[in-house]
Structures are given as C-alpha cells and as structure tokens.
Amino acid sequence: MNALRSRTYRHQDLVTIEHRLDVPLDHHAPDGEQLEVFARELVKVDKADDNQPRLLFLQGGPGGKSPRPGSDAWVERALRDYRVVLLDQRGTGLSTHANRQTLARRGGPEEQAEYLQHFRADAIVHDSEALRKALGGDTPWTLLGQSYGGFCILTYLSFAPAGVKEAFVTGGLPSLQGTADVVYETTYDHMVEKNEAYFALHPDDRELCARIVRHLTENDVRLPTGERFSPRRFQTAGHGLGMRGVFDGLHYVLEEAFLPGSAGDELSDTFLHAVGSGLSFAEGPLYAVLHESIYQHGAASRWAAERVYTERKEFHLDDERPFLFTGEVIYPFFFDEDPALVPLRETANLLAHKEDWPALYDVEQLARNEVPVFAAVYYNDLYVPRELSLETAKAVKRVTPWITNEYEHDGIRVSDVLDKLFKLAKQTP
C-alpha cells in the first residue's frame, strides 16, 4: 500500500490537512487494483499543537461526499474537542470517482457491476481503517455517523471494533434484518403521515399537485436537462419531506408551478428548474445505483421499493385517490429518465438482482460490543424508522439511545444535537 500523501494549509482559524491514500478496490485482494481515498483533517489554529484525538465523520448516503469546511455548523462544535476528519467515501468527491463518465471506462454493465459491488459499507470501513492506521498507528478514534454513516458505524463495530474508541450516531441505527423490504414496509407508512402533515399545513397544494400530474399526463413537458418530466418522477419530489430544511421549501417551489402561456397554462421555467435540480442524481449517482444494496445480506433486493409501491394502492396516481408524494426510495424508472442514470440502467439492474451480498453486520459481535455508542433516534424519522432503530439499540450492547421528537432527520445540521450527544456520553458511566 502506498504511503499517505498530505498537504497542509491555513484558512482563517483552521488548519486544514488534505490526505490522499491508495487502498485496494477489494480489501480481500490487497495486491489487486487500487483506489485513492481523500480526506480533509481540520483542527483549530489555536489547538493545532494540542494533540487532540481524531473524530472521523461518516457521511450520509450511500454515495455522499463529505461536507466541505464551513457548510455544516456541527463541525464547529466537534472542533472544540477533536481534530475532525472528513472522508470522501470511495466513489465520491475527491476520492476515486464513480459515475456514468468514469464507469464507462471499465467496460459494459457486467464489469461495472463487478466493480461497484465493492462500494458498500464494508469497503468504507476497510478504507477508514487504512486511513486511521496511516494517520495514527494503533490509536483508536471516535466515529460520528449521520444517517447511512450510522450504518457504516455498525459495520465498523462488527468487523473492526478495535479501531473505535467511542461512536456517535445521528438518525442512523439501521435494521439488522437484512432486507430492504422490511425498511420500505415501514417507511411507506411514515410517508403517508408526512403527506398528511404537509397537506394539513399547505391544504391548497394537494389539488395543485393533482393539477400538475394531469398536466404532465396530457403534455410532453421537458426538464432543463432535456428528458420528459413524467408524473411519477414529479411524485418523488416528496423525498425531502423528512428534512426540516426542505419541508416548507417544497411549498415555495410548488406555488410558482404555473404561468399563462401562449396555448394556456404551462409549467414555469422557474418551477421546472427547481424541481428538476432536486430530482437529478447527477451529483450522487451511487445513491441511486447502490441504495437498496445497503440493506441486503445475501438475497437480492429485486427493486424492493417498486414492489412495495405496486402493493400500496394509496400512492397510485389516478383521479380516484388524493395525491401523495413518495419518499426516500429508488425506482427502476429513474434509470429510464434521469440522464445521469440512463447509462447505468443495466448495471443497476444487475446489482438489484445480485443474490450473494456478504453480510454487513456480525450480529453476535454486536451483541457483545464493548464500544460505547450514543445514538440520536428521531421519533418522526422518515428515512431510518425509529421502530427498527430501537430494535437495533436493544440488540447491540452498550448502545445508549436518545429518543427525541424535537428534530427531523437533518437535526445534526440545524441544531445542537451533537452537543447533547457529547453531554450524554460524559454523563454515562
């Protein structure tokens, strides 16, 4: 394995150290193909010589790059106590990238799927361990995982617990049951509740949404990226309703939907740009390609969200039912419509039908876990259901859950959630 390559510079009150490290594509074949992972390490200028412990932040996703300095308020709180390491997970950001452009160089769908099977939480944990050892030798570090980052933490505690001193999880205690179906059967119920809350606050938007669906059904409407805007793609605009920062923002997008055109009312450029940007996977295609695989142990997902959608008649788009948005789900039709995903259609289908996914968690190891874990469980979480999170909290030793209805899934970004978790850790023997 190549040596760590680092560059240090100062910006305002921060010292930033950019790290690059080569790691195996397949950690079970360490002499094979290599990838590069990138991480930024941040420390306050006045603490640069204090030998603070390191905290690794594991980003939500899958397929999400780390936050950039200055973009999230929680970083400022963490920097009081830690040197913060922001890892671009493999395939994202400045790590070896994976999207329609780079994957095309690998060959056809079979070669791309073979490559991408190495981009789940188990590989991210091995990358993190390689980085930890390159930075600090045998010194364990603290983990902070937001959403999917919490999934990665349980994988970490399953297979590399010696590398972890303590862990904090925000909205990310996953189900240990090993299928996407279990998750979607719950999240569709929660999405009905979110729709009720949204339309209670913005009652005129329900008929407006039904009007948009009729217009999209009857007209060939194009998004700024060129593809036809389908009714079902519009329905997925509710995927952000579990974020406090998005809930009302959707209403302000909808209120500018229609303008009078030469042939009657038409959808405005303002609306199409806003909704199209929100629905595109150009910035994070791995989120769509790998999404269902993050739940799977062994069996194939076979497009679980689409199967559950077919069964949930209340979400179907017709004049007999009130309009409902759908939530955080990936449907196969995305790969027919989104230009960022169309070239990856067959690749995604192969991954959706992969039958031999390795286990992401060692349930027996988690049951005897000795690493203290402090987890914010959001009572109204749309994406990681509290019911499943609390089952996991009981199954994993030394997990201390903090259950709250004060925040939504993005609580870490808009609140003092991290400070409360740190205080909980200090109060817990």
User: Using CB atoms within 10 A of its CB, is residue 13 exposed (0-12), middle (13-18) or buried (19+)?
Assistant: exposed
- Residue 45 DSSP label: G
| Token pair of 309 as six digits | 């959608």
* Residue 336 annotated among the catalytic residues of the structure: no
Which of the following is catalytic: 88, 95, 409, 410? 409
Asked about 248 being catalytic, the answer comes back as no
24-28, long-range: CB within 8 Å, 24+ apart, which pairs? 24/126, 25/115, 25/118, 26/118, 26/123, 27/123, 27/126
pLDDT tens track, the chain, 429 positions: 468 999 999 988 999 999 999 999 999 999 999 999 999 999 999 999 998 999 999 999 999 999 999 878 899 999 999 999 999 999 999 999 999 999 999 999 999 999 999 999 999 999 999 999 999 888 999 999 999 999 999 999 999 999 999 999 999 999 998 799 999 999 999 999 999 999 999 999 999 999 999 999 999 999 999 999 999 999 999 999 999 878 889 999 999 999 999 989 999 999 999 999 999 999 999 999 999 999 998 899 999 999 999 999 999 999 889 999 999 999 999 999 999 999 999 999 999 999 999 999 999 999 999 999 999 999 999 999 999 999 999 999 999 999 999 999 999 987 799 999 999 999 988
Are 348 and 336 in contact by the 8 Å Cβ rule? The answer is no
Cα(282)–Cα(270) distance, rounded to whole angstroms?
19
Q: How far is residue 242's CA from residue 401's CA, in Å, rounded to a whole number?
A: 20
* CATH of span 5-176+361-427: 3.40.50.1820
Domain boundaries, the chain: 5-176+361-427, 180-352
Q: How far apart are CA 348 and CA 342, in angstroms?
A: 10
Neighbours of 364 (CB within 10 A): 8
pLDDT attached to residue 2 = 64
Beta strands in 25-163 (DSSP E): 34-44, 54-58, 83-88, 141-146
Taking a C-beta distance cutoff of 8 angstroms, is the pair 290, 120 a contact? yes
Look up 409 and say whether it is catalytic: yes
**Identified catalytic residue from 147, 293, 389, 415:** 147
The conformational region for residue 25 under phi > 0 = left, psi -120 to 50 = alpha, else beta, is alpha
pTM (two decimals): 0.96
User: How buried is residue 76: exposed, middle or buried, by Cβ count under 10 Å (0-12/13-18/19+)?
Assistant: middle
